[in-house]
Amino acid sequence: MKKNLLGIIALFVAMMMFGTIAAAAAETVVVAFNPEYPPFESVDGDSYVGYDVDMINAIAEKAGFDVEFEAMDFDAVIAAVMTNPNTIGVSGISITPERQLNVNFSQGYINAGLIVVVKKDSGYATPEDLKGKVIGVQQGTTSDFAAEDITGMENVAQYKTFLNAIMDLQGNKVDAVIVDKPVGMAILASLGDDSLVIVDMGLQADWYGIEVNKENTELLEKIDKAIDELKAEGFFDELEEKHLTKTEFDAEEAAE
């Protein structure tokens, strides 16, 4: 009986130790993103900063996993998520029916909306005014698709970043730039160019979500639960105050 009791105690201790080790070895989720999209994600020295970076770190803490950020071109993000169940995409990514064919999305966490940046004296006020005009966009974003609908593919100028597109607007190489509202506001604040204005042409709502591999529904549930909790705590209001009401990046550096 004594031997049996000692054996049971030894087994219990071993199980406790195993559980502690397993808890310490938290799951690591790879975050595929394009750090050329301030104020949502950008590089500051040796660190990644921005709205999405703070958000995904908070989600990871709530959901109990670690994150490893992996920088890549925007167009490569969805492919990375599709091919790896343990990779998520977080890069100011709009939830669209086309993308939902290939990946799952978390609930929307911010409605960015599409606006148009034009020269103050352009007279452009509606999408009709932009027909046949050259519109700058960031390649692969919803602005790219919206511009094609307005002016035709032959008149869409695709850029690596929205900032590059807006700088070409300054140089009169394009007639307008379609951009997500918070990004456009941050870029214009950084440039300090009074000749540029934002025009809301009622193009579309634009909810950002987190891309998750279709096979990893458990991870999706964890992320959505964490987003609900963070919304209830007012965390997203804090993010907006921190990242969307002031300029946090150098325009010339971000355009490189």
* Of the candidates 148, 250, 140, 121, the residue with the CA atom closest to the CA atom of residue 203: 148
Write down the pLDDT at residue 17: 47
Is the pLDDT at 204 greater than 90? The verdict is no
Write down the pLDDT at residue 183: 87
Write down the pLDDT at residue 23: 39
Write down the pLDDT at residue 246: 54
Pairing of strands 135-138, 156-159: parallel
| Residue 26 confidence class, pLDDT cut points 50, 70, 90 | low
249 versus 46: the higher-pLDDT residue is 46
Q: For residue 94, what are its two tokens?
A: 């709009």
Collapse the DSSP code of 186 into the 3-class scheme (helix H, G, I; strand E, B; otherwise coil) and give the result.
Answer: helix
Q: Are 166 and 179 within 8 A, CB to CB?
A: yes
Is the pLDDT at 61 greater than 90? The verdict is yes
Write down the pLDDT at residue 186: 84
Number of neighbours of residue 173 by Cβ within 10 angstroms: 12
Give Cα 157 distance to the centre of its chain.
22
* Of the candidates 210, 202, 256, 251, the residue with the CA atom closest to the CA atom of residue 39: 251
Determine the average pLDDT of the residues in 186-205. 90
Q: What does the pLDDT look like over 105-134, one tens digit per residue?
A: 999 999 888 999 999 999 999 999 999 999
Is the pLDDT at 18 greater than 50? The verdict is no
Q: What is the mean pLDDT of the chain?
A: 87
Q: Are 151 and 135 within 8 A, CB to CB?
A: yes
Instruction: Map out the domains of the chain with their CATH numbers.
Output: 2-110+207-250 (3.40.190.10), 113-199 (3.40.190.10)
Q: What does the pLDDT look like over 129-165, one tens digit per residue?
A: 999 999 999 998 889 999 999 999 999 999 999 999 9
Q: Which residues pair with 176 in a beta bridge?
A: 135
Is the pLDDT at 248 greater than 50? The verdict is no
CA 187/CA 196 separation, integer angstroms: 11
Write down the pLDDT at residue 38: 85
Is the pLDDT at 252 greater than 50? The verdict is no
| Percent of the chain topping pLDDT 70 | 85
Determine the average pLDDT of the residues in 64-92. 96
Number of neighbours of residue 194 by Cβ within 10 angstroms: 8
pTM: 0.68
Is the pLDDT at 8 greater than 60? The verdict is no
- CA 100 to each of CA 141, 179, 212: distance values in angstroms, whole numbers, following the listed order: 14, 21, 10
Strand positions, DSSP E, 160-247 = 176-180, 196-199, 207-208, 211-212
Is the pLDDT at 76 greater than 90? The verdict is yes
